[in-house]
Chains A and B, each alone.
Chain A
Amino acid sequence: MIRPPSARSEAVFDDFKPAYTTGQALAEANRCLYCSDAPCIQACPTGIDIPEFIRKIATDNVKGSARTIFEANILGMSCARVCPVEVLCVGDCVYNHMGVPPIQIGKLQRYSTDVAYAEGWTFFEAGEDTGKRVALVGAGPASLACAHALRRMGHGCTIFEKRAVVGGLNTTGVAPYKMKADRSQDEVDWVLSIGGVELKTGVEVGRDVTFADLERDFDAVFVGFGLGPDGWLPDCEGIAGIHGAVDFIERFKLGEVDLDGVERALVIGGGNTAVDAVRELKGLGVPRVAMVYRGTEAGMSGYAHEWQAAKLENIEAIWQTQPTGFARGDDGLAVDAVKLDEKKRPIEGSAHRLPADLVLLAIGQGKLGELIAGLDGVRLDRGRLVVDAHGYTGRPGYYAGGDAANGGKEVVNAAAEGKAAARAIDAWLAADNSLRSQKTEGAV
Chain B
Amino acid sequence: MAAAKVKPDLTTDCAGIRSPNPFWLASAPPTNSGEQIMRAFDAGWGGAVWKTLGTPIQNVSSRFGATNYRGTAAIGFNNIELITDRPLDVNFREIAEVKKRYPDHAVIVSLMVETREEWKEIIQRSEDAGADGLELNFGCPHGMCERGMGSAVGQEPKVNERITGWAKEFATVPVLVKLTPNVGDIVPHGLAAKRGGADGVSLINTIKSIIGVDIDRFVPEPRVGGLSTNGGYCGAAVKPIALHMVGALARDPGFDIPISGIGGVRNWRDAIEFMLLGSTSVQVCTEVMLRGYRIVEDMIEGLTEYMARHGFATVDQLVGKAVPSFSEWGQLDLNYETIAKIDAQSCIGCQLCVTACHDGAHQCIHPTGESRVPVIDEDECVGCNLCQIVCPVPGCISMVEVDNGYTPATWNQHVGEGATLRPKKGAH
Contact = CB atoms under 8 A, between A and B. Distances in A.
Genuine A/B complex? yes
A193 B1 contact: yes
A122 interface: yes
Given A23-B394, A36-B292, A52-B294, A61 B302 contact: yes
Given A59-B268, A122-B1, A64 B292 contact: no
Given A22-B394, A23-B394, A52-B294, A121 B2 contact: yes
A55 interface: yes
A52 B297 contact: yes
A61 B294 CA distance: 15
A61 B301 contact: yes
Interface string B299-325: 001100100000000000000000000
Contacts of B291: 34
A36 B294 CA distance: 10
A346 B156 CA distance: 94
A64 B305 contact: yes
Interface in A258-296: none
Q: Which of A23, A26, A56, A61 has the most CB of B within 10 A?
A: A61
A61 B298 contact: yes
A59 B298 contact: yes
Contacts of A64: 297-298, 301-302, 305
Query: What size tier do the contact residues of chain B reach?
Result: 20 to 34
Contacts of B305: 61, 63-64
Interface residues of A, number: 19
Contacts of A52: 294, 297-298
A430 to B, nearest CB: 26
Given A120-B1, A121-B2, A193-B1, A67 B301 contact: yes
Nearest to B4: A125
A189 to B, nearest CB: 11
A57 B231 CA distance: 34
Nearest to B396: A23
Contacts of A193: 1
B267 interface: yes
B346 interface: yes
B7 interface: no
B386 interface: no
B269 A23 contact: no
A258 to B, nearest CB: 39
A60 interface: yes
A64 B297 CA distance: 9
Interface in A1-34: 22-23, 26, 34
Interface string A107-119: 0000000000000
Contacts of A36: 292
Nearest to B348: A23
B213 interface: no
B305 to A, nearest CB: 6
A120 B2 contact: yes
B212 interface: no
A36 B268 CA distance: 20
B56 interface: no
Nearest to A21: B346
B346 A23 contact: yes
A52 B292 CA distance: 12
Contacts of A67: 301
A361 B291 CA distance: 51
Given A22-B394, A23-B395, A36-B292, A59 B1 contact: no
Contacts of A23: 346, 392-395
Nearest to A25: B394
B298 A55 contact: yes
A63 B292 CA distance: 22
Contacts of A61: 267-268, 298, 301-302, 305
B292 A26 contact: no
A121 B3 CA distance: 10
Interface in B250-279: 267-269
A23 B346 CA distance: 10
B127 to A, nearest CB: 37
Interface in A21-76: 22-23, 26, 34, 36, 52, 55-56, 59-61, 63-64, 67
A386 B394 CA distance: 52
A278 B322 CA distance: 60
Interface string A91-127: 0000000000000000000000000000011100100
Given A61-B268, A120-B1, A22 B298 contact: no
Nearest to A55: B298
A193 B1 CA distance: 9
Interface string B275-297: 00000000000000001101101
Nearest to B267: A59
Nearest to B294: A52
Nearest to A27: B392
A405 to B, nearest CB: 33
Interface string B330-349: 00000000000000001000
A1 to B, nearest CB: 18
A431 B269 CA distance: 46
A22 B393 CA distance: 9
B86 to A, nearest CB: 25
A53 to B, nearest CB: 10
A103 B82 CA distance: 39
B269 A60 contact: yes
A23 B269 CA distance: 18
B292 A59 contact: no
A55 B268 CA distance: 12
A84 B232 CA distance: 47
A348 B294 CA distance: 65
Contacts of A63: 301, 305
A63 B4 CA distance: 15
Contacts of B294: 52
B424 to A, nearest CB: 35
Contacts of B394: 22-23, 26
Interface string B199-231: 000000000000000000000000000000000
A23 B396 CA distance: 10
10 contacts: A23-B393, A23-B394, A26-B394, A34-B291, A52-B294, A52-B297, A59-B269, A61-B302, A120-B1, A122-B1
Given A61-B268, A64-B305, A67-B301, 6 more contacts: A22-B395, A23-B395, A26-B394, A55-B298, A59-B267, A59-B268
Interface of B: 1-2, 4, 267-269, 291-292, 294-295, 297-298, 301-302, 305, 346, 392-395
* In the complex, the 4 A-B pairs of residues with the closest C-beta atoms, listed nearest first: A64-B301, A59-B267, A61-B302, A23-B394
